[in-house]
């Protein structure tokens, strides 16, 4: 029979898995309490970071329908439950891991698909959502400008041709 405290922990983890946009699994061995606090503060806008028990996490992930984490649940594990922009959270973890090599990114899940550590790094290398939207808006604006130019170009050329003909006629009339 499962103990009530473990059942409550599994239920809480299951809810976090279900409500998260992405999940990143890390190993925190060698980090001090102060460093973990600093990491939690760095992720506070986009994610929550929690030290977890591997067995309970595996059960909660299965209950939430999350697959691909079982291979990474070895050793001391902590999970970043991302509720905001996954790119920003991945960048925060990557940058913290660069400054503190004891933090090892094991893998994660994004949109129901498992990611390895290299996939998390690729995600961190993406530009933020706002930058990508700005680039898309700039591309749309350039396309609209080109379309407007294409529609007005024949009219403008016709006006220039008519003006050139008027000038030519005026010079011919003056010469005659």
Domain assignments of the chain as residue spans, ordered by start = 4-126, 129-176
The candidate with the shortest Cα–Cα distance to 78, out of 141, 27, 22, is: 27
Mean pLDDT for the stretch of residues 145-160? 80
Q: How far apart are CA 59 and CA 57, in angstroms?
A: 5
Q: How far apart are CA 117 and CA 94, in angstroms?
A: 10
- The pLDDT, as a whole number, for residue 176 is 67
Q: What is the pLDDT of residues 73-130, one digit of tens each?
A: 888 888 888 887 888 888 888 888 888 888 888 888 887 788 888 888 888 777 777 7
Superfamily (CATH) of domain 4-126: Ribosomal protein L10, N-terminal RNA-binding domain (3.30.70.1730)
- The pLDDT, as a whole number, for residue 2 is 65
């Amino acid at each position: 029979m499962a103990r009530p405290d473990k059942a409550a922990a599994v239920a809480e983890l299951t809810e976090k898995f279900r409500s998260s946009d992405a999940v990143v699994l890390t190993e925190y061995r060698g980090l001090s309490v102060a460093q973990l606090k600093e990491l939690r503060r760095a992720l506070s806008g986009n994610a929550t970071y929690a030290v977890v028990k591997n067995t309970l996490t595996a059960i909660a992930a299965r209950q939430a329908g999350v697959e691909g984490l079982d291979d990474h649940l070895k050793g001391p594990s902590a999970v970043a439950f991302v509720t905001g922009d996954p790119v920003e959270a991945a960048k925060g973890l990557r940058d913290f891991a660069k400054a503190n090599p004891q933090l090892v990114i094991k893998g994660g899940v994004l949109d129901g698909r498992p990611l390895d550590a290299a996939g998390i790094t690729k995600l961190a290398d993406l530009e933020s959502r706002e930058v990508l939207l700005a680039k898309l808006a700039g591309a749309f604006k350039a396309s609209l400008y080109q379309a407007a130019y294409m529609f007005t170009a024949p009219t403008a050329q016709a006006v220039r041709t008519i003006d050139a003909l008027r000038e030519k006629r005026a010079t011919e009339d003056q010469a005659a």
